Structure 1
Amino acid sequence: MLPTNVKIGMIGTGVMGKSMAQNLLDAGYSIHVYTRTKQKAAELLENGAAWKDSVAELAQASDLVITMVGYPSDVERVYFGSGGILENARAGTYVIDMTTSKPALATEIYNRASERGLHAMDAPVSGGDVGAKNGTLAIMTGGEQNVFDDIFPIFDVLGENIILQGEAGAGQHTKLANQIAIATNMIGVCEAIVYAKKAGLNPSRVLDSISTGAAGSFSLSKLAPRMLKGDYAPGFYVKHFIKDMAIALESAKDMGFSAPGLKLSLELYRELAEKGEEDSGTQALIKLFEE
């Protein structure tokens, strides 16, 4: 069980991690933070979070460690090796990777954590910057039921739709299914907007009509209005979506599934990144259709 005065370590304070850490601070939790660029944590430090100079130092000082980094290579860097979480966390510590990463890596972390008496879960999220700020993320988890029950109060601060999907790696597989669903949906949203414009319609009014019907989706309701405003600020980076889709396509191939819609979306987003949009939000895909 988590202690009542649980100390939470947060590694990664980017678009998502920063808001998640702030919500935990607002809920009264003691938060330690570490990120490669300390300036990214400046606002959190001003609001009461404590800075740690390394992954090892943070792991040693925490009862529960949450990681929200960019790529599987980043996950490996913070978890493994002499300076990583697994070598430095005390027995009984909970380690929760909320990065979207490889299911096999989640299983490896779980197995190696268990050998050291640590409780590990994979818990990737969906909901973008809006969900992170509002504490309404969908949290997809993999691991043991008793560990899930212990840390549910933490998850409850961060999200609303919180489901244990199965054993270690199941959370990552669920998130990849989520990204597959989004991938082709984003193509449809872009095509719908361009179609409406070419038909001489007011695309905002079109969105009012179609976003509450059978075509409704997060992308249509939240990201399409940003497209119309020319707002391409990242709620979720193009480069990170490419990473997620590449992992999903690799995983699908391993299971003998071709995923043609996912493959097309990945090709389009890679083309978008080559045009200098890798640090834009995923809604920037509309630029390819408006050329």
Structure 2
Amino acid sequence: MDVQETKIAFIGTGVMGASVVKHLLNASFEVTVYTRTKERAQAVIEAGATWAATVGAAVANADVVFTMVGYPSDVEEVYFGEGGIFASGKEGQTVIDMTTSSPALAKRIAERAMELNMSALDAPVSGGDIGAQNGTLSIMCGGTEEQFTNMLPILSMFGKQIVYQGAAGAGQHTKMCNQIIIATSMIGVCESLAYAEKAGLDPNIVLQSIASGAAGSWTLSNLAPRMLAGDFEPGFYVKHFLKDMNIALEEAKAMNLELPGLELAQQMYDKLVQSGFEDKGTQVLYQQYTQK
């Protein structure tokens, strides 16, 4: 793929989206961006991205359209709303939704794209702000295998583990698997650190032993130090994590699957939202243990 001839539109430049855009710019792609608040896109504009005042203006001349917004309702609006991608796009475009969203919505997007002679991938990511900054995101893709192969050179600009999971919606289902593990392991990390402190240990020294052993995980290595430092700023927002857990629980219910661990995590994060922590990072769960 000739990067000089591929024009990209990117809708949503939040904590992770902005870093992805910078990787695309560094790879010499021409990128047009849109986000509801222009100020949030200022860093990528200064890095070389072109600002568009509307979704329609952003996607009009693009070959590939990325979306990375907050909620399934935002995805719905961006794709199906008046002046949205499907109303403003063109035949031959590829649309790639990296929002963690509903598998059913991913299937709807793929079906509508096919009707319009466009192509679609659902491609949610994992790795948080650190993975986005380093260009090492895990990308879980659903759609046709041919389209996955076609888009792989672009995805490789900001992803490290990029896996084709199956038909439309499969990427989103895989992301639910990812979030289920994170939700329950986050409880384990918080409880481990709380136990270390109550036992009179230095939890930072404890981490030196357990982070590289059988208990090791991304959460333990990357978020536990933030917890201990009192750094609860978002690499991934509590409000978005709660949204993900709600999607996973809805899908599990539809499959007649009980997930009691996920239900517990959902209740704990819902409590955080009710306490005003919705815009903090997911590691703020630790405060539920330290403030008792």
TM-score tier after normalising by the smaller chain length: over 0.9
Match of 1:62 in 2: 62
CA contact (8 A) 2:3 2:28 kept: no
Residues of 2 paired with 1:77 and 1:191: CA distance?
A: 39
- Secondary structure at the counterpart of residue 157 of structure 2: helix
Distance (Å, rounded) in 2 between the aligned partners of 1:231 and 1:3: 38
Name the CA distance, whole Å, in 1 between partners of 2:83 and 2:67.
15
| Whole-angstrom CA distance in 2 between matches of 1:212 and 1:46 | 40
**1:51: which partner in 2?**
51
Shift of 1:227: 0.2
Q: Does the 8 A contact of 2:4 with 2:30 survive in 1?
A: no
Q: 1:179 aligns to what? A: 179
Deviation at 1:220, TM superposition (A): 0.2
Give the fraction of aligned pairs with identical amino acids, expressed as a percent: 56
Instruction: Assess if the C-alpha contact under 8 Å between 2:138 and 2:161 holds in 1.
Output: yes
Matched residues in 2 for 1:204 and 1:240: separation?
28
Q: Does the CA-based 8 Å contact 1:2-1:150 persist in structure 2?
A: no
Distance 2:36 2:276 in 1: 24
Alignment partners' CA distance in 2, 1:213 and 1:201 = 18
Task: Tell me the alpha carbon deviations over residues 221-250 of structure 1, each in whole angstroms, 9 at most, x when there is no partner.
Answer: 000000000000100000000000000000
Q: Kindly indicate whether residue 99 of structure 2 is the aligned counterpart of residue 99 of structure 1.
A: yes
Alignment-mate amino acid for residue 134 of structure 1: N
**Structure 2 residue runs without a partner (length 5+):** none
Please identify runs of 4+ aligned residues in structure 1 that moved more than 4 A. 1-4
* 8 Å CA contact retained: 1:7, 1:64: yes
Structure 1 position 3, deviation (Å)? 7.2
CA distance in 2 between counterparts of 1:178 and 1:47 reads 32
Equivalent in the alignment of 2:245: 245
Equivalent residues in 2 for 1:1-291, closer than 5 Å: 4-290=4-290, 291=292
- Counterpart CA distance in 2 for 1:41 and 1:28 is 18
The 3-state SS of whatever aligns with 1:24 is helix
Q: In 1, are the aligned partners of 2:4 and 2:28 still within 8 Å (CA)?
A: no
For residues 248-267 of structure 1, the C-alpha deviation after alignment (integer angstroms, 9 at most, x for no partner) is 00000100011000000000
CA distance in structure 2 between the aligned counterparts of 1:234 and 1:81, rounded to whole angstroms: 29
Residue 35 of structure 1 aligns with an amino acid whose one-letter code is T
Q: Deviations over 1:153-192 (max 9, x none)?
A: 1110111000000000000000000000111100000000
Aligned equivalents of 1:5 and 1:47: distance in 2? 19
SS of alignment partner, residue 288 of structure 2: helix
- Counterpart contact for 2:156–2:162, Cα < 8 Å: yes
Cα displacement (A) at 1:135: 0.3
- The amino acid of 1:187's aligned partner reads I
Does the CA contact (< 8 Å) of 1:106 and 1:168 recur in 2? yes
Counterpart contact for 1:2–1:63, Cα < 8 Å: no
* Greater alpha carbon shift after TM alignment, 146-155 vs 71-80: 146-155
Long gaps (5+) in structure 1: none
Secondary structure, in 3 states, of the residue corresponding to 1:8? strand
- Secondary structure (helix, strand or coil) at the match of 1:277 reads coil
In structure 2, distance between residues paired with 1:263 and 1:217: 21
Cα distance in 2, alignment partners of residues 229 and 42 from structure 1: 29
User: C-alpha separation between the residues in 2 aligned to 1:283 and 1:82?
Assistant: 37
Q: Which amino acid aligns with 1:279?
A: D
TM-score of the superposed pair, with normalisation by structure 2: 0.98
- Deviation of the 1:81 alpha carbon: 3.0
Count of residue correspondences: 291
Distance in 2 (CA, whole Å) between partners of 1:221 and 1:56 is 41
Q: Which amino acid aligns with 2:106?
A: A
Cα distance in 1, alignment partners of residues 207 and 254 from structure 2: 38
